[in-house]
Amino acid sequence: MTSNKPIVVENPWERLRAFTDARIGLGRAGVSLPTGKLLEFQLAHAQAQDAVHCPLDVEALAQQLQEAFALEHEPLRLHSQVEDRAMYLQRPDFGRKLNDESRERLEAVASQSRVDLAVVVVDGLSALAVQQNSQPFLKALYQQFEQDSAEWQLAPLTIIEQGRVAIGDEIGALLNADAVLVMIGERPGLSSPDSLGLYMTWAPEPGLKDDRRNCISNVRPAGLQMDEAARRLFLLLKEARQKKLSGVKLKDRSEDNVLEGDSAAPGSTQNFLVAD
C-alpha cells in the first residue's frame, strides 16, 4: 500500500553541498536515512577501516623508491616492537620503539659523521597513504633540496612497519641526523583514507614530546598537494637548521591569523542565513 506521496522526502537545500563536504541535505525516509545515503556512508567507513587494517607492502614500496630515485641500496626495512595490528592499536608505546634486530641493523650502517636529515617512512594508521603518496612526495622534496644553494646530507632512507611518529626519534639519533622527517599514514577520515602526515623534529632523541615536532597534515591528492607540502616542509626544515630547534617554538608566527572562508569577504561573517 503506497500513496502517491513520495516515500523519501528530498531536501531542497541539497545544493548547499557546493559549499561544504558535510553530509547535509540527505533527505529522509520517515526520520531515517534513505537507503542510498546509508550505503554511501557504509562504503566510506569500510574503506577507512580497510585502510587501517591493510598491511604495508613493504617490499613493493622499497623497490619502487629504489628505482624512482636510483638509490644505490634498497631503503632499509625496519620493524617496531609491535607484533600485529591488534597490538599496534592498543600499545602505542611498543610502536614507538625499534625491535632489537632493527636497532642492530641501523647501528651497523650509521655514518660516523653527522648528516642533515633522516627520512623515515612509517606505515602508521594508513598503509594506503604511505604506499600511494611516498614516492610523489619524496620526488617533490628532493627537488627542493636540489634547488637549494646549501648542501643537504641525507641518511639512508628507512621504511618502518607498525610504527608510531616517535619511532623517528630513535632512528634519527642512531643515524646521527640533525633532524628527522617522519612520513606516516594518518588516522583515516571517512572521506580521506589516504592522508599522509609529515612530522619534522630537530635533534631527535628517544623520549621527546610532541611539542618538539612540527606537523603538516592531510597530504594526499584530494588534500594538500605534494609540491605545496614539500615547499612548506622545506621552509620548516631550513628554519629549524638555522635556529637549531623545532616544535612550538618554531611555529608560532601564524598565531593570530583568521582563516578566511572561501565564500565570504575577508573578516566578514555575512552568509545566506543572515542576509537581509
Partner 1 sequence: MAQSFQTTLGSRHYRFKSLAELMAKATPARSGDRLAGVIAESAEERVVAQMVLADLPLTTFLNEALVPYEQDEITRLIIDDHDAEAFAPIQNLTVGDFRNWLLSDQATSEALSDVRSGITPEMAAAVSKLMRNQDLILVGKKCRVVTAFRNTIGLPGRLSTRLQPNHPTDDVTGIAASILDGLLYGSGDAVIGINPATDNVAQSVKLMRLMDDVIQKYQIPTQSCVLTHVTNTLEAIEQGAPVDLVFQSIGGTEATNRSFGFDLSILAEAEAAAQSLNRGTVGRNVMYFETGQGSALSADAHHGLDQQTCEARAYAVARKFNPLLVNTVVGFIGPEYLFDGKEITRAGLEDHFCGKLLGVPMGCDVCYTNHAEADQNDMDNLLTLLGVAGCNFVMGIPGSDDIMLNYQTTSFHDALYARRVLGLKVAPEFERWLTEMQIFQDVKTHRLNDQLPAAFANSLRHLPKEPRHDV
| One residue of 2, 3, 20, 112 binding partner 1 per CB under 8 A | 20
Q: Work out how close the CB of 28 gets to partner 1 at its nearest, in angstroms, rounded to a whole number.
A: 7
| One residue of 63, 111, 153, 270 binding partner 1 per CB under 8 A | 270
Contact 26, 37 (CB under 8 A): yes
Start-to-end CA span in the chain (Å): 45
Q: At what angle do helices 167-174 and 100-109 cross, to 10 degrees?
A: 30
| One residue of 57, 93, 107, 148 binding partner 1 per CB under 8 A | 93
Phi-psi region of 120 (alpha: psi -120 to 50; beta: other; left: phi over 0): beta
Contact 17, 25 (CB under 8 A): yes
Indicate whether 12 belongs to the interface with partner 1 (CB under 8 A).
yes
165: nearest Cα among 59, 46, 247: 247
Q: Which CB, 124 or 156, lies closer to partner 1?
A: 124
Q: Report the DSSP pairing between strands 196-202 and 177-185.
A: antiparallel
- With H, G, I as helix, E, B as strand and everything else as coil, classify residue 178: strand
- With H, G, I as helix, E, B as strand and everything else as coil, classify residue 146: helix
**What cell numbers appear for 272 in the block?**
545566506
Q: Report the DSSP pairing between strands 213-219 and 115-122.
A: unpaired
Indicate whether 244 belongs to the interface with partner 1 (CB under 8 A).
no
Q: Which CB, 65 or 160, lies closer to partner 1?
A: 160
Q: Which CB, 22 or 108, lies closer to partner 1?
A: 22
Which range in 4-12, 96-104, 142-150, 225-233 contacts partner 1 by CB under 8 A? 4-12
Indicate whether 35 belongs to the interface with partner 1 (CB under 8 A).
no
CA 45 – CA 31 distance, rounded (Å): 22
**Pattern of binders to partner 1 over 96-135, x per CB under 8 A?**
-----------------------------x----------
Indicate whether 263 belongs to the interface with partner 1 (CB under 8 A).
yes
CA 11 – CA 146 distance, rounded (Å): 53
| One residue of 54, 64, 66, 91 binding partner 1 per CB under 8 A | 91
| One residue of 39, 190, 222, 235 binding partner 1 per CB under 8 A | 190
Q: Footprint of partner 1 on this chain (CB under 8 A)?
A: 5, 9, 11-13, 15-26, 28, 30-33, 37, 41-42, 44-45, 48-49, 51-52, 89-93, 125, 187-192, 255-264, 267-275
